[in-house]
Amino acid sequence: MTPRETILVALHARLSALPATALRGDVLPERMPVEGLMILRDGEPGAPEVTLSPLCYHYQHRAEIEAVVQGTTRDAAFDTLCASIGAALAADRTLGGLCDWIEAEAPRPVDLPVEGATSLKAAVIPVVLHYSTADPLA
């Protein structure tokens, strides 16, 4: 696997350890899990900074976590879900040495109405992955 894919797999594994359901690159399911849902999107690696001798590409890859909860206590559940994501990332900012640093940005939550059910509370949480590689395709 490439360094990028290895890091994304490790991030998904870290999210999968949380009580909420963690998916990667999936669509929003018809039924919302009671504990909440996180969908990891691979995001955009962006243009790297390049150093020569030795040749190295330094990325600030912007992945995204879609966090979604539903229910009558969705505000509290959303807050708990976001806090648990933050704690999981802060526990090891290098994902076991796979990347140089990982940091999340603040979510911008929105309420999404659902016909015939309680509304969803959702947000995209940008996650910046700092890593370097010798080849942008490797």
> Using H for helix, E for strand and C for coil, what is the string for the chain?
CCHHHHHHHHHHHHHHCCCCEEEECCCCCCCCCCCCEEEEEEEECCCCEEECCCCEEEEEEEEEEEEEEECCCHHHHHHHHHHHHHHHHHCCCCCCCCCCEEEECCCCCEEEEECCEEEEEEEEEEEEEEEEECCCCC
What pLDDT, on the 0 to 100 scale, is given for residue 15?
A: 98
Residues of the chain with pLDDT under 50: none
Residue 114 CA to residue 123 CA, distance in Å, equals: 16
What pLDDT, on the 0 to 100 scale, is given for residue 84?
A: 97
What pLDDT, on the 0 to 100 scale, is given for residue 42?
A: 97
What pLDDT, on the 0 to 100 scale, is given for residue 115?
A: 85
What pLDDT, on the 0 to 100 scale, is given for residue 118?
A: 86
What pLDDT, on the 0 to 100 scale, is given for residue 51?
A: 96
What pLDDT, on the 0 to 100 scale, is given for residue 68?
A: 96
- The domain made up of 3-133 has a fold known as STM4215-like (3.30.2000)
Give the residue extent of every domain in the chain: 3-133
